[in-house]
């Protein structure tokens, strides 16, 4: 029944989009092509037929400026070494999508697209009601088929290739599924999770406006609104990741910010970012929000084989509030050869005056949806640090396939991020296979282990073995 409700939700959204764009269908001149004379569903079916057969006509390569792209996408989730909070300055919007093509032949700069991502896992966690794989994510629920994400995007990207005039863009998102618990921001429909702990939820996960200023250095993008937390190898968006499940590092990280961020292309090899937000995973109008600083730099070598992305994020007085961690993050992408590359990330976080879960007085101060700290006996609050390291080793097997191997270590020293203080390790092997450019299969095998106490499946297991996977169907 859940999938029927989700299907109804998607068809309602699609119907809305069709109504909005129907008039454009009638007036846009169509170049002769195999979809001529076909209705919406005929054009949609033709897009998938050509995509899966590999016969989609190739258009002219859009002009771009800046460095050579180090990767090909697909199969990789990116073509340029990624940085968050901005479109890649100098990269054109050459993407075409099934839904948008069926609506109006992919004419115009405003695009409507998305995906559905159901997943399944079998793990050594229990099968009783309430069994959880956590801190494994996004396959949070143990031994289940679940809809991780059903996502609809409406966006217009600013033209950051040209250097003559100010341009603008926007992005709107509707996300439904179990993954909403890893995108929720306090103050934005957050009662679904914080008050009711619902299995499925809806989240407007990304809502922002971009303004591009071409004459600031080699281009500057100003983003205003809600966007994903900018440092890190992994993303909240399913198609932005190497694997189905997320690392321990990602799981304890923050997920979204609401504020203003300037991204400046200083040179072809250097990007600088400065911004102010309301804090991690909290809307500026919600209780616990604090003005917080973001500062990052992305540096790419002349060979384009290496990229270093260094960030400080959520920096303020560090006193306990909803997810008010002070985050220091560094990623390093290294291309070893045509088919091999690595992605490494190191994360250090801390928070001051965190209420103790071991103290009755401290426990009363713990915010709903967060964990207290495992403070020393006699303390009501304490200083809480944690750090994590992950390494991906990736090999492209062909135009449609790659393998990822991830090693990941987390030291949640006082248990505030997972609920159980201690050290954790996981090892994951994943295969990613594309059908055309619209369907991804991502099966994986994963082993997790806690070193200091039973921390998995609600504190019942020392570790887990998980076989899991999902399908991402792009529309």
Measured CA to CA, the distance from residue 241 to residue 402 in angstroms comes to: 12
Q: Residue 65 phi/psi, 5° resolution?
A: -135, 160
The count of C-alpha atoms lying within 13 angstroms of the C-alpha of 316, restricted to the half-sphere facing its C-beta, is: 21
- CA distance linking residue 29 with residue 244, whole number of Å: 41
- Nearest in space to 206 (alpha carbons), one of 189, 226, 190: 226
Q: Quick one: pLDDT at residue 18?
A: 36
- How far is residue 342's CA from residue 317's CA, in Å, rounded to a whole number? 35
Q: Is 434 helix (H, G, I), strand (E, B) or coil?
A: strand
- Identify the pLDDT of residue 28: 36
Question: Look-up: residue for tokens 């001529």?
Answer: 36
User: Cα separation of 24 and 107, whole Å?
Assistant: 9
Q: How far apart are CA 289 and CA 282, in angstroms?
A: 6
How many Cβ atoms from other residues are within 10 Å of residue 394's Cβ? 24
pLDDT reported for residue 35? 60
pLDDT of residue 2: 42
How much is the mean pLDDT over the chain?
Answer: 91
Distance CA 348, CA 327 (A): 6
Of the candidates 96, 97, 78, 77, the one whose C-alpha atom is nearest the C-alpha of residue 88 is 78
292: tokens are 């917080």
Label the pairing between strands 256-267 and 201-203.
unpaired
Query: Which is it for strands 340-355 and 381-398: parallel, antiparallel or unpaired?
Result: antiparallel
The per-residue pLDDT for 129 is 82
* Cβ-Cβ contacts under 8 Å for 377 (sequence gap 6 or more): 358
Provide the pLDDT for residue 21.
40
**The domain made up of 2-56+69-474 is a member of CATH 2.40.160.10:** yes
In the block, tokens 């396959």 appear at: 139
d(CA 150, CA 113): 11
Residue that has been written with the tokens 């879960």 in this structure: 357
CA dihedral (70, 73, 79, 85) in degrees, to 10, reads -160
pLDDT of 36 reads 63
Could you list the beta-strand ranges (E) of 127-229: 145-156, 167-177, 201-203, 207-213, 220-228
Q: pLDDT digit of tens for each residue in the chain (475 aa)? A: 443 344 444 434 434 443 434 343 333 334 445 566 689 999 999 999 999 999 888 777 788 899 999 999 999 999 999 999 999 999 999 888 999 999 988 888 999 999 999 999 999 998 888 899 999 998 999 999 999 999 999 999 999 999 999 999 999 999 999 999 999 999 999 999 999 999 999 999 999 999 999 999 999 999 999 999 988 999 989 999 999 999 999 999 999 999 999 999 999 999 999 999 999 999 999 998 999 999 999 999 999 999 999 999 999 999 999 999 999 999 999 999 999 999 999 999 999 999 999 999 999 999 988 899 999 999 999 999 999 999 999 999 999 999 999 999 999 999 999 999 999 999 999 999 999 999 999 999 999 999 999 999 999 999 999 999 999 999 9
Residue 203's pLDDT is 97
């Amino acid at each position: 029944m859940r999938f029927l409700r989700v299907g109804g939700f998607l068809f309602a959204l699609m119907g809305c989009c069709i109504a909005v764009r129907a008039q454009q269908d009638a007036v846009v001149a169509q170049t002769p092509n195999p979809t001529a004379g076909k209705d919406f569903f005929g054009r949609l079916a033709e897009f998938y037929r050509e995509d899966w057969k590999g016969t989609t006509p190739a258009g002219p390569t859009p002009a771009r400026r800046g460095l050579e792209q180090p990767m090909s996408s697909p199969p990789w989730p990116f073509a340029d070494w990624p940085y968050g909070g901005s479109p890649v300055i100098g990269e054109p919007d050459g993407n075409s999508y099934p839904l948008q093509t069926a609506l109006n032949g992919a004419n115009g700069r405003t695009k409507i697209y998305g995906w559905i991502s159901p997943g399944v896992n079998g793990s050594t966690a229990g099968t009783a009601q309430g069994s959880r794989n956590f801190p494994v994510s996004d396959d949070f629920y143990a031994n289940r088929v679940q809809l991780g994400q059903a996502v609809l995007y409406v966006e217009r990207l600013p033209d950051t290739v040209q250097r003559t005039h100010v341009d603008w863009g926007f992005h709107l998102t509707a996300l439904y599924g179990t993954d909403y618990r890893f995108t929720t921001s306090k103050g934005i429909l957050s009662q679904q999770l914080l008050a009711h702990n619902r299995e499925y939820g809806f989240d407007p996960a990304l809502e922002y406006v971009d303004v591009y200023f071409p004459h600031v250095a080699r281009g500057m993008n100003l983003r205003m609104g809600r966007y994903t937390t900018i440092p890190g190898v992994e993303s909240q968006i399913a198609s932005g990741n190497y694997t189905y499940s997320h690392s321990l590092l990602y799981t304890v990280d923050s997920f979204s910010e609401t504020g203003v961020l300037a991204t400046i292309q200083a040179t072809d090899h250097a990007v600088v970012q400065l911004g102010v937000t309301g804090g991690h995973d909290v809307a500026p109008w919600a209780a616990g929000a604090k003005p917080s600083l973001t500062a990052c730099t992305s540096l790419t070598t002349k060979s384009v084989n290496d990229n270093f992305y260094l960030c400080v994020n959520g920096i303020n007085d560090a006193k306990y509030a909803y997810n008010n961690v002070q985050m220091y993050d560094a990623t390093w992408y290294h291309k070893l050869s045509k088919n091999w590359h690595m992605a490494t990330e190191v994360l250090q976080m801390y928070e001051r005056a965190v209420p103790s879960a071991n103290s009755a007085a401290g426990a009363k101060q713990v915010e709903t949806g967060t964990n207290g700290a495992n403070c020393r006996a006699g303390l009501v609050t304490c200083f809480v640090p944690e750090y994590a390291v992950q390494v991906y080793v990736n090999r492209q097997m062909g135009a449609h396939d790659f393998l990822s191997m991830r090693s990941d270590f987390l030291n949640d020293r006082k248990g505030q991020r997972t609920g159980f203080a201690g050290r954790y390790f996981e090892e994951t092997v994943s295969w990613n296979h594309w059908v055309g450019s619209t369907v991804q299969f991502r099966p994986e095998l994963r082993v997790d282990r806690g070193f200091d106490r039973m921390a998995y499946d609600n504190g019942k297991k020392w570790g887990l073995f998980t076989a899991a996977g999902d399908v991402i169907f792009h529309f």
